[in-house]
Structure 1
Amino acid sequence: MTATMQTPTIMLINLGSPSSLDISDIRKYLKQMLSDDEIIDLPKPLQQFIVRAFVLPFRPKKSRRAYDKIWTSEGSPLLINTQKIARELKNQTGWNVEVAMRYQEPSIRETIQKISKDSCKEITVIPLYPHNAMATVGSTKKEVERIAMEVNEQLQINFLKPFFDHSDYIDCLVKSISPYITDKLDMLLFSYHGLPERQIRKSDPGGDYCMTESDCCMGNSPITKKCYRANTQSTARLTADKLGLEKDKWAVSYQSRVSTIGPKWLSPYTSDELKRYPDFGIKNVVVVCPSFVCDCLETLFEIDIEGRDIFTESGGASFTFVPCLNDNTDFINFLESEVSSLLT
């Protein structure tokens, strides 16, 4: 095959997870992730003080108990589901599709090294994060570019942009949610991964738009395209509209808050909403987590186990968890279409 006819090479990147349930592996994962300056965006000495004094001595054991409830015989659900996406995309297209994790294994470095040994000159990177955020899209892009310069500076890299408002992606969400929507629905809750408010403000170069008004995310400013909070609101609104839901039948909340990283996080918090809903007559809820493409600890444990318990113990009658898109055929078709447009 000539250079001009070279089979496209795709690299799917997800956040990552521990390589096993051993406390040492969980600690290694947490240390690497929380030492990323895009995750804990504080001066390095303060960041490391927080990580070493308040996180690593306690969180690995807590995380171990959570992972133990969702770990499979094959390993980490996040890694397994990402590999399934890669396998389906490769089978459907014939492309070379590799998987890398931002933290831990398989690493971005070893994946780029493997690709470079195959004399690949160009890769398309798919960060599996629908919404813009410095802690996900930003961190991944910086790390890929940094490692590529060290391993193979001639390698051309194309990145798939966040697709939070793409009509085909919204259609994927609508099709995945629709089977769970009945006339008994009281609330469809869009639960997104939370972020410290300071990181939202950093997406606004001028500092005079984001988080200044309660409805700033509803504006049509170019800033909202880069703002995580605005992205999440947009995904929810577009999805709810296509589902034909009234405004009082859907809401947005944020989960996975880590108070040691910062006191002020995006709100309302998912756990608080689920706890208070029954008191307001909201007894039948459906929860979907669009910031996660693959089911993982945050969806399988934090929502489908912890969230369910919070809601039912507070008096809720029906709690329905909508699985992530994972290797859903519609989502694979969407990825194929988006990558194809970058290859032309």
Structure 2
Amino acid sequence: MSERGVLLVNLGSPASTEVADVRRYLNQFLMDPCVVDLPWLPRRLLVSLILLRRPKASAEAYASIWWEEGSPLVVISQRVRDQLRSRLDMPVELAMRYGEPSIEQGILALVQQGVSEILLMHQYPQFADSTITTVVREARRVIDQHGLKVRLTELPAFHDRPDYLEALAESARPHLEGGFDHLLFSYHGLPERHLRKADPTGGHCLSSPDCCERPSPAHARCYRAQCKSVSREIARRFNLKDDQWSVAFQSRLGRAKWIDPYTEVELERLAARGVKRLLVMCPAFTADCIETLEEIGDRGREQFINAGGEELVLIPCLNDHPQWMDVLADWARREPVSA
């Protein structure tokens, strides 16, 4: 019997690029109250409206980046799982918060292998209720529902861990050493209300233009502050000047106010400023997915060039970079055991 097992968790993907599969996936994703934080009835009405048209457009977007082996996110995650299995003397299973393999399937597979403690190794560097909280809640729900006698250890947000930052910098190094005019860090966006709800101080987040730069206990749960921190650390490792890099947020949905600046606006601004060769990193993701490959690599590149830029280079996510695999394996061995 192995005392510890690892459940590697990422966001998820539709089962295929068929509209029906995309609609099913989007319904599960958007009906999560951690994602669309409205009461059930207005959430159901809003999601039903979104599902009238969005699945077709999203299916076309997925089809444009789909690999022969399947969804890039799932395929990369499977490679990460296999790499961890080769490095660790413990069971490792893969799960997706939405779609399959589900968290329930992953937990039950680990329990069947005799583990007494599961390390929930989500792949989200920065904290957000719509990522880390919902994964933890679902894992606990499965354990309670099945009456499992297993301890759950949850990997905290790892945006500030030096080994993560070093792996991220090393994975990007070849692209930065190739020359560029500007480095843009583009993160998945969040509605501003999500930041305010997560703020343990009740009044720091978004209270001033420099709230992310002023020390506060709120930063422990502030997605925006953590994104900016990662960007600063990577820029510092490459000795970048302040005008050589910037931060923006992508993937807005709906009419609510989301954290800014918005990536599409920043792409236009940089092109107008005379930036010709733009590098883009997406450190909210550890594995390439539709938000990186299609939203930035295809649509973002087209927008930047149409605005006057010459070249947009999407720096791959960490994916299964060897140094990142070593970091994850080290965490699996050393993460403190839950009480």
Per the normalisation by structure 1, the TM-score is 0.95
> SS where residue 8 of structure 2 aligns?
strand
Instruction: Select which of 180, 185, 191 maps to 1:196.
Output: 191
CA offsets 1:314-341 (integer angstroms, 9 cap, x no match): 1102211100001111101111122222
Structure 1 equivalent of residue 212 of structure 2: 217
Paired residue type of 1:164: H
Map of 2:308 onto structure 1: 315
Contact kept, 8 Å, 2:201 with 2:217, in 1: the verdict is no
RMSD: 1.4
The reply on whether 1:93 has 2:113 as its aligned counterpart is no
Please give the per-residue CA displacement for 1:180-231, whole angstroms capped at 9, x wherever unaligned: 1258522100000000000011111342110001111112222102100011
CA contact (8 A) 2:267 2:303 kept: yes
Question: 1:158 & 1:185 partners in 2: Cα distance?
Answer: 41
SS at 1:202 equivalent: helix
Q: Which digits, 9 at most, give the CA deviation of each residue in 1:132-153, with x for residues without a partner?
A: 0000001111111111111234
Which residue of 45, 56, 61 corresponds with 2:41? 45
Cα pair 1:7 1:96 within 8 Å, conserved? no
Identify the match of residue 262 of structure 2 among 266, 269, 275.
Answer: 269
Residue 102 of structure 1: which of 82, 97, 102 is its match?
97
Partner of 1:187 in structure 2?
182
1:302 aligns with 2:269: no
Which sits farther off after the overlay, 332-341 or 284-293? 332-341
Write the distance in 1 (CA, Å) between the matches of 2:21 and 2:315. 30
- Give secondary structure in 1 for the equivalent of 2:52: coil
Counterpart position of 1:332:
325
User: Retained in 1: the 8 A contact 2:91–2:113?
Assistant: no
Aligned residues: 337
* Structure 1 residues 255-309: Cα deviation after superposition (integer angstroms, max 9, x where no partner): 01112xx420011111111122121112221000000100010001001111110
2:60 is the counterpart of 1:65: yes
The question of whether the paired residues in 1 share the 8 Å contact of 2:3 and 2:116 is answered with no
After TM superposition, the structure 1 stretch with the greater mean CA deviation from structure 2, 201-210 or 36-45, is 201-210
Corresponding position: 1:23 with 2:19: yes
SS at match of 1:217: coil
Letter of the 2:21 counterpart: D
Q: Is the 8 A contact 2:17 2:60 kept in 1?
A: no
CA distance in 1, matches of 2:84, 2:177: 32
Mapped to 1, the partners of 2:80 and 2:336 lie a distance apart of 19
1:211 partner SS: coil
Percent identity over the alignment is: 39
Write out aligned runs for 1:237-252 (5 A): 237-252=232-247
Question: How far apart are the structure 2 equivalents of 1:318 and 1:184?
Answer: 12
| Displaced runs of 4 or more, over 3 A | none
User: Which residue, 73, 96, 112 being the options, matches 1:78?
Assistant: 73
Structure 1 residues not aligned, in runs of 5+: none
Change (3 A) 1:315 1:137: same
Distance 1:338 1:309 in 2: 39
Q: Distance in 2 between matches of 1:99 and 1:123?
A: 12
1:120 Cα deviation from its structure 2 partner:
2.2
Q: Normalised by the size of structure 2, how large is the TM-score? A: 0.96
Q: Does 1:33 align with 2:29?
A: yes
Inter-partner Cα distance in structure 2 for 1:320 and 1:91: 32
Supply the AA of the counterpart residue of 2:274: G
Instruction: Indicate the SS of the match to 1:40.
Output: coil
Equivalent position of 2:286 in the other structure? 293
